[in-house]
Homo-oligomer: A and B are copies of this chain.
Amino acid sequence: MQRLRRTSQLLLRCRSSASGLFYGHQRTPYDSIKRPYWENNHLAFYYTTSNHMGAVQASVNVGLHTSHKIPRRSFSSASTSIQRSPLFSTLNSDDVSYFKEILGDKTVIQEEDRLLAANVDWMGKYKGSSQLLLLPKSTEEVSKILQYCNSRRLAVVPQGGNTGLVGGSVPVYDEVIINVGSMDKIISLDKVSGILICEAGCILDNLNTFLANEGFVMPLDLGAKGSCQIGGNISTNAGGLHFIRYGSLHGNILGLEVVLADGTILDMLTTLRKDNTGYDLKHLFIGSEGTLGIVTKVSILTPPKLVSTNVAFLACEDFTSCQVLGHVEGVRNPLPPSLHNFYVLIETTGSDESYDKCITPVSFIQI
């Protein structure tokens, strides 16, 4: 997907989630992280040493020697020359004053360190130069922000946990960053149907922990679950480990509340499993990366938690009869030098451990 802007009136982009770290929503803070980013065609790093929430204590920019300069790889359209549109305004002190008025001082962030973290994506491939980070606490605040930015023609970029790998959650230029991580309330869970309603800033792993106590699981699971947020998951149509079993978010998301670029709040927060009243607009916001609006609330169908989990590890001779575990470069190979060409790792969950265990691995493949 192109990283170039797709605008209606304002730039709206969105991605999932890592830098909840900097906004007080990180549940598993790292003690010291070296994160690379690109600065004038040099690989640079900044260091975060954080033992409490919300702190970025050091930012060090280390240029490489010219002779060892690593050519910047172009993962997206960033390699082409993108010009900042003159149609967008530039932030001024009146704008900041207005945001402080509607949000309060503490959620209008201008500190350099926190801005640096919010301007860089998780992989350090993309770096923006936003001067303002906003942390709205409600749908109404998101609406007021977007309404104002629209009237002033200030570009914005929505941000979740900022764990995305394609730079969708960081500014290209000086867009105002709207991070929904402060909107992390669980609103309700129907314990009969498993329908969960929550705010977009809820961290995926927190939702899973909450649901596990009630006998349910989230229908999606991915590596970034400790930081990524459900709003970003939806905006990027995240898949993950449960995709084959529980299907796509288009099947599991029952309703959304979304704020459009002009501040209009679209309430599509139904909990009906099949709602045929009118056009099903919510699907436009699933996977559209925040370009059409910012997801603020979510209604999601969660499957029951199954009691039996089994893991099978299979060695195979050819590709056609199995799914292959990819080996990522630079990652330790957990296997000894091998006699087999392929391996398959299968995790099953079921309702009866004794039955699940008596199924042979061959049956797994046939299933």
| Chain A interface (Cβ < 8 Å from any Cβ of B) | 1, 236-237, 239, 243, 247-248, 250-252, 273-274, 276-281, 283-284, 286-288, 292, 304, 351, 355, 367
Contact = CB atoms under 8 A, between A and B. Distances in A.
When all copies of this chain in the complex are counted, the total is 2
B276 A237 contact: yes
Given A280-B284, A283-B280, A284-B279, A248 B274 contact: yes
Contacts of A1: 276-278
A236 B284 CA distance: 18
Contact of A237 (B252, B274, B287, B351): B274
A146 to B, nearest CB: 20
15 contacts: A1-B276, A1-B278, A236-B276, A237-B276, A237-B280, A243-B274, A247-B247, A250-B250, A250-B280, A279-B287, A280-B283, A280-B287, A281-B284, A283-B283, A351-B367
A248 B248 contact: no
Contacts of A273: 243, 248
Contacts of A288: 279-280
A107 B341 CA distance: 57
A277 B236 CA distance: 10
A279 B243 CA distance: 20
A247 B243 contact: no
B283 A284 contact: yes
Which of A273, A278, A279, A292 has the most CB atoms of chain B within a 10 A radius of its CB?
A279
A281 B284 CA distance: 7
A195 to B, nearest CB: 13
B355 A274 contact: no
A284 B355 CA distance: 42
